[in-house]
Amino acid sequence: MPEYRISRAKLTTDIVLAVVFGLMSLPFALMGTWADLVAMVLFVAALAVRRLSPAWALGIAWAAATVQMAALRDLQFYDFAVLGVLYSTSAHGGRLLKWLGLVSAGAGALIATVYLQVLMPVFGGTGGLTPQNLFAAAFILIASLAVLVLAWTAGLLARSVRDGREVRRREEVANRERALAEYRYTVEQERNRIARDMHDVVAHSLAVVIAQADGARFAAKTRPDAASEALSTISGVARGALGDVRVLLAELRHREGGAPQPVLDDLGGLIEGVVAAGLDVRRLETGERCELGTGHQIAVYRIVQEALTNALRHGDTSAPVDLRLDWEADGLSLSISNRIPADAAGGPNPMATRHGITGMRERAQLVGGTLAAEPGADGAFHVVARIPAQPRSPS
C-alpha cells in the first residue's frame, strides 16, 4: 500500500528518470559481472517506486546492496541511487519509515566502511588491516555518513516545505470559508433589519391610512372639507411609505447599507403623522440630550413608530398617548403608554403576541439596550425601553 499518494504523471516521471539512470549505469555494469547487472536492475526499480512506496524502495535498495557486497563488487555508478531512496524516505515516507531512513543512512555508512576497508581486503586477498586502511576507513565513514545523511536531510527539508504549503493552503481555505460565513451572517442580519424596517413602515403607514380613510368616509357627506383634508393626508402618507418601500427594496437588490435612515430629529414628523390620523400624542422630554450613535437613534425611532402604530391600531384612540423621553448621562429612558380599549381590558391583550413587540425588543437588544412591553394595572399598555449612550472613545 503506498505511503504517499502520487499522480499518474509523477509516477510516470519517476519511471522515466529511473530508466534514464539505468541506461547511464548500464555501460559500467556491463564491464563487471552478473552481480552488477542484478544490483543495477534492483537500484533502478527502487528509484522507480521511491515515491509510490518509499518502504519498498528502501527494501529493494538494501537487497541490491546485499547482492553487490555478496559478490565482493567495488563501488559502482548505480550506487548513487541510494541517495534518491534515502531522500524519498524522509520526504514521502511515514513517521516510522522516515526514521528508518535515517537509521539506514548511518548503518549504510558503517557497513560500507567495514565492507570496503575490512571485508574486501581480507576476502579479496589484498591484505589485512594497516594504519593506512584505518585512516582511510575513518575518512570513508565520515564522508559516506555526511553524503547519506545530507540526502536524507534534503528530503526532510522538502517535506517541511510541502507541509508548510499544505498548512497555508488549508488556512486559506478556512479563511475563505470563515469570510463566507461572516458574509452570509451579515447578509442575513441586514435582511432581518430590512424586514423589520419594512414591517415598521408598512404597518405604521397603513394604520394612518386606515384611520384617515375611516374619518373621511364618515365626514364625506357632512364635512367635505375634513374629508378632503383626510384624503390629502392619506396621499402624503402613502407616497412617503412608497418611497420608503422602494428604498428598502433597493437595499435588497443591491445589498447597500447606505440608504437614509431615520434619526431622532425625525420623531416630530412621525408624531405629526399619527396626530393627523386621530391619535392624541403628548410628548414630554426631560434632561439634556447625550450622544447616541446612528444605530441607537434608528432603534429609538423605530420603537416609537411601532408603539404609536400599535396604539393607533389596537389602543383606545379617544385617550391620549404619553410619550416620554428622559435623558440621562448614560443613555435614554423611553416610555410610551396608551389606554387599552374597554372591550379588551378583561381579555387577552391583542398586542401581547404581535410581531412588532418582538421587533422592538430585538432593536433595543441590538444596540445594547432593553425593552419591556406589557399591560399595566392602570388599564394602559406600557412600552418601556432603555437605550444606552454612545460610548466615548478615550482621548
pLDDT tens digits for the chain (395 residues)?
Answer: 444 567 888 889 989 999 999 999 899 888 888 888 999 999 999 999 998 889 999 999 999 999 988 888 888 888 899 999 999 999 888 889 889 989 999 898 898 888 887 777 777 655 555 666 677 778 888 888 899 999 999 999 999 998 899 899 888 888 777 766 775 666 576 667 666 666 666 666 666 666 767 666 666 667 767 666 766 676 666 666 665 665 555 555 544 445 567 788 888 888 887 887 778 899 999 988 888 877 788 889 888 988 888 888 888 888 899 999 999 988 899 999 999 887 655 444 444 445 578 878 887 887 888 999 989 888 899 999 999 886 554 44
pLDDT at 362: 81
pLDDT at 371: 92
> In the beta sheet, which residues pair with residue 290?
none
**Whole-angstrom distance, CA of residue 88 vs CA of residue 49:** 10
- In terms of Cα–Cα distance, which of 332, 324, 335, 323 is closest to 288? 332
Cell of 342: 374597554
Q: What are phi and psi of 279, to 5 degrees?
A: -105, 130
pLDDT digits (tens, 9 = 90+) for 100-132: 989 999 898 898 888 887 777 777 655 555 666
- Alpha-helical (H) ranges within the chain are 8-30, 34-48, 54-70, 81-92, 95-114, 120-123, 131-219, 224-254, 267-276, 294-314, 342-345, 355-366
pLDDT at 71: 85
- In terms of Cα–Cα distance, which of 92, 105, 99 is closest to 2? 92
Residue linked to cell 392602570: 378
pLDDT digits (tens, 9 = 90+) for 31-75: 888 888 999 999 999 999 998 889 999 999 999 999 988 888 888
**Whole-angstrom distance, CA of residue 68 vs CA of residue 72:** 6
**Whole-angstrom distance, CA of residue 85 vs CA of residue 106:** 14
pLDDT at 8: 87
**Whole-angstrom distance, CA of residue 222 vs CA of residue 361:** 44
Alpha carbon distances (Å) from 201 to 21, 238, 273: 80, 10, 12
pLDDT at 393: 46
Phi-psi region of 76 (alpha: psi -120 to 50; beta: other; left: phi over 0): beta
Decide: helix, strand or coil at residue 373. Answer: strand
Residues ≥6 apart with Cβ < 8 Å to 392: 291
Contact present, 24 and 49 (Cβ < 8 Å) = no
Q: What is the DSSP letter of 46?
A: H
Between helix 81-92 and helix 34-48 the angle, nearest 10°, is: 30
pLDDT at 295: 75
pLDDT at 238: 66
pLDDT at 133: 67
